Copies of this chain bind each other. A is one copy, B any other.
């Protein structure tokens, strides 16, 4: 019982051995992450189309819940760019931004997403995330980065624009181009320039100046805070809000409120598919970060328990005024680099953010939205990486096709269509490839018992024995293909007495393929040609034994291809000698 409980609540493991050394390391990491998260939380709320306090709330309860249920020791959970974009796109379809319905839709989305993740976790269905191939994810993240950066341009330009796809957003920006507020542009461009400089040049500079590593970390992660403070002060001092610079304004001073997601049938129905999409993309992103960090310390994470951890975090967001969350890449790396040893670092971060929510919110009244937009743009442009295009082009045209389709469709038709098309295209291309399997005619490599393709290697062959190595599992998609292929091959050579199907690469024979094999056997029997199988794997043989095929087979099943060759070609030789 206790064991079972612990497997669902990893905190019960590491909590028992928690000591003061771990405590001080966790605390330092938490301070650094908190400083980084305050502007990020506000910015991602802006990206999701929600009031700024929602970003802070979203970073408190979810972090604590993940610390209890999650298995990664370094993962930092909260609002992240791609999931915030997906949130904006999903709830933008059911409610107007800025309305109460919009905030409730965000809660509902987090609730559905959390519920779905928990269900997947309890049913141990984490493997579903594998349906997103690496190239599709890479293409999707890159396209999302571009979409997000574009979506923030309106804040930098100080115009109102809308849309969830590139054509919509660019068109809307062009229409409003006359309304540009140049003071806002100045603030946004300066903030972005400063943040790019901090990201690229500050750390090397501090190192050259001989600053200690901890201080370097504080200073370089503090870049956004400096930008926030400087632009806020500027807006306040020069009264820029009266010049049309949009500011954050009133943010309630409060701990996260207790909220209830909207549970109307219509709302749940409309948000179900986006919630599933958000869950899976968030999970995949989070798990790869967690796995990368765990591998560095030879720790293990349990993907199915991660589903429960992330699910709990999202449910937490749903009941405390938040929106969907997942494990973020940059904040987790910062957490890890800053020395976090256990999920307690997350709990301390949550405490830090709770203090900020109560004490610091009045200070961001004059914070310009353009600064937050600059923070987002600088963060997401690091996600944009087109190298996957030439990497896949060089290696596999099928993967390349999937990447290109994902990128173009994400940019052109939106995130949901893009990722769904990426998954569908990957699967269809895989099925297409397996529908026309490679079949090699093989012969004996002289001096060995090894058989290889007659067109690639110098091998011994026989006129009367044809050996075909089928390089694919046999299942409905390619069942008929093999029938045609054998028919064609056998009618080519009149001397053929035996056909051996070498099954070393056949990992499955489904019912459709079984019927095809029976048809092949019947046809070859009519033609006086023997049909033999060799190197049939255990699991395949177990199943074939339950069918008629093995009894009706006019030839034999050989353990190894060499046995088959030895017996069949020798038999021919001795018959010829008679």
Chain A residues packing against B (C-beta within 8 Å): 127, 130-136, 295, 391-392, 394-396, 398-399, 426-427, 430-431, 433-438, 440, 445, 448-450, 452-453, 456, 471-473, 475-481, 504-508, 510-512, 514-515, 523, 537-539, 543, 546-547, 559-560, 562
Contacts of A510 in B (CB 8 A): 133, 396, 398-399, 430
- The answer to whether A399 and B511 have CB atoms under 8 Å apart is yes
Please measure, in the bound complex, the distance between the C-alpha atom of A436 and the C-alpha atom of B426, giving whole angstroms.
18
- The answer to whether B562 and A448 have CB atoms under 8 Å apart is yes
- The answer to whether B450 and A135 have CB atoms under 8 Å apart is no
A475: nearest residue on chain B (CB-CB)?
A: B430
What is the distance, in angstroms, from A453's C-beta to the closest C-beta of chain B? 6
Contacts of A131 in B (CB 8 A): 431, 476-477
Contacts of A426 in B (CB 8 A): 476
- The answer to whether A450 and B562 have CB atoms under 8 Å apart is yes
Contacts of A473 in B (CB 8 A): 434, 472-473
Contact of A395 among B436, B471, B514 (CB under 8 A): B514
A515: nearest residue on chain B (CB-CB)?
A: B134
What is the distance, in angstroms, from A338's C-beta to the closest C-beta of chain B? 24
Contacts of A471 in B (CB 8 A): 507, 537, 539
| Complex copy number for this chain | 2
Which of the listed residues A426, A452, A511, A523 has the most CB atoms from chain B within 10 Å of its own CB? Answer: A511
19 pairs, A vs B, C-beta closer than 8 Å: A130-B478, A130-B481, A133-B475, A135-B512, A392-B511, A394-B546, A394-B547, A395-B514, A396-B511, A427-B431, A430-B475, A430-B477, A440-B537, A445-B560, A453-B538, A456-B538, A471-B537, A472-B507, A473-B473
A292: nearest residue on chain B (CB-CB)?
A: B519
A287: nearest residue on chain B (CB-CB)?
A: B480
Contacts of A512 in B (CB 8 A): 133-135, 399
What is the distance, in angstroms, from A524's C-beta to the closest C-beta of chain B? 12
Given A449-B449, A476-B134, A538-B456: A395 in contact with B543 (beta carbons within 8 A): yes
Given A456-B538, A505-B504, A537-B471: A560 in contact with B450 (beta carbons within 8 A): yes
A522: nearest residue on chain B (CB-CB)?
A: B295
Contacts of A450 in B (CB 8 A): 449, 559-560, 562
